[in-house]
Amino acid sequence: PIAWSAYLLGAFGGEQALPLLAGLLGISFLNGCLHLALALGLRRYNPGVLTGALLFIPLAAGALREWVRAGLFTTDMLPFALALAIGGTAAIPLSIYLARDP
């Protein structure tokens, strides 16, 4: 729920919210790539692989490509977006690990 709320904030926050939205799309992109790599590496299905491959990866890549073409996403936004994407992606398995039953 938190991630989807942040997507709404990014989507309706105007141009000043683009670095946030780019970082969130980066989380989706990396998450999709990790699910796909896991499925290929283990040669079996995992929850999230279809959503990642069919929705998150193409949506994030397409949105970022269009923002770059339109001049909306610039190199000065990149450090924040990358930090958010990497940190947010790392937080997903960490939160699952911390929430497990002891």
Asked, for residue 3, whether it belongs to a domain, the answer is no
Query: How confident is residue 34, by pLDDT bands cut at 50, 70 and 90?
Result: very high
10: pLDDT strictly greater than 80: no
Asked, for residue 9, whether it belongs to a domain, the answer is no
Asked, for residue 90, whether it belongs to a domain, the answer is yes
Asked, for residue 10, whether it belongs to a domain, the answer is no
Say how far apart CA 93 and CA 98 lie, in whole Å: 9
Say how far apart CA 19 and CA 48 lie, in whole Å: 25
Asked, for residue 4, whether it belongs to a domain, the answer is no
Share of the chain above pLDDT 70, in %: 91
Residue 73: give the domain boundaries: 17-99
3: pLDDT strictly greater than 70: no
Asked, for residue 84, whether it belongs to a domain, the answer is yes
The number of distinct structural domains making up the chain is 1
Asked, for residue 38, whether it belongs to a domain, the answer is yes
On average, the pLDDT of the chain sits at 88
Asked, for residue 7, whether it belongs to a domain, the answer is no
83: pLDDT strictly greater than 60: yes
